[in-house]
Copies of this chain bind each other. A is one copy, B any other.
């Protein structure tokens, strides 16, 4: 009993000590940039991270939360009370708030929405209506706009009044009296303008505004094309409803690249490196089962030709050479095509030019590899015995398979685009299916032909 009490006291003492430590940690990290605080939280265990996070000022905490890696962010959010979540979300720009709330279980989301200010709630609910990968899904409802009839000094006065409501302002938008987008005013122009200059004279009308429904990849392309810092977003009637800032576009570009990389090898774009193993398993099963079906055709082809292989077992050794190299050549080709489609460097109109180019490259590569591999087999057969004509079987099969790789590697992704399927998703399966299967057809077909001549020759000899 006594021991127990002591134990309890000790525990209390530890808790007080731990609390002090936590407060020290919170005090230490709160002086850092939110991005760096996020780094520190990621290195703590989830419970400690929650405690330190809860000791942070709500405004800093809101930025920290957004800077956390997906995994750590999710773990932390799951541990926060609805009240703390609401406090933190309240401090966020509307687009970030909407992203956080969209990822919450619907009950928690509803509860948090009820706890933030009615104005913020309305903005967030408005944003949640748009598709996640559209301009509307990327935009924030906070922006600064001035009417075109003002002077520079009048506009600056208006900005001063709203100084605290909007962050990260680099451009001001010009709007007509009924709220339609009329152009962009660069802050730098505004600062250096004569106080009496009419706003109209400062407006850049050449910059685009985009519709809320535009796909985020198109939005990213506009940012790159026009070197934009922010982009106004309008409804169908021309009414300005929000803006997209370049920091979100940087994320879009990185996400789209990751998506392409993952899809090319049959990974789900949402798979995270530390997802639970079973979640990763489920996401990878479909591709691998499809692959199993694809290679089964090649396997069946081999089995059908078992007679050839029993008589000329070296032919079985040719198969991984022709399949492996053909697969890599095809993968290189479709990767080149898919990446350039994604970057917008090429489109379907360039099909003929791309195909001719890839066929030429394939021909040259095929010739070289066929000579090297065929020559090696020839040398081996001369030294250790065997039919030197088999070197021609290997060389010819390699040569032809390079042409298949060029054809399939170019046409498969382009056909998928035509069918409005993301070419990154399925090109890998189709192209390697074709190079495997046809590569095997060439090897086994040519080998059978050589063999029937051998048989014919030996029967002539026997006769």
A interface residues with partner B (beta carbon < 8 Å) = 33, 35, 67, 69, 71, 156, 159-160, 163, 168-170, 187-188, 190-192, 206, 223-229, 246-247, 249-251, 253-254, 257-258, 260-262, 264-267, 271, 273-274, 277-278, 280-281, 284-285, 287-289, 291-292, 294-296, 298-300, 302-303, 306, 309-310, 313-314, 316-321, 323-325, 328-329, 331-332, 335-337, 339-340, 343, 345-346, 353-354, 357, 360-361, 364-365, 368-369, 372-373, 376, 432, 436, 440
Contact = CB atoms under 8 A, between A and B. Distances in A.
A168 to B, nearest CB: 7
A296 B319 contact: no
Contacts of A262: 335-336, 339
Contact of A191 (B159, B300, B354): B159
B336 A369 contact: no
Interface of A is mostly: helix
A212 to B, nearest CB: 22
Contacts of A287: 328, 332
A171 to B, nearest CB: 9
Given A224-B251, A225-B67, A285 B365 contact: yes
Given A273-B354, A309-B316, A325 B254 contact: no
Contacts of A227: 168, 247
B35 A226 contact: yes
The 5 nearest A-B residue pairs measured at CB: A257-B257, A306-B313, A277-B360, A227-B247, A299-B317
A295 B444 CA distance: 18
Given A345-B273, A361-B284, A257 B261 contact: yes
B361 A273 contact: no
B253 A335 contact: no
Nearest to A428: B328
B281 A364 contact: yes
A288 B257 contact: no
The winner among A160, A191, A278, A345 for most chain B CB atoms within 10 A is A191
Given A265-B328, A296-B321, 12 more contacts: A191-B191, A224-B250, A254-B343, A273-B340, A281-B361, A284-B361, A288-B329, A291-B325, A292-B325, A295-B320, A298-B321, A309-B316
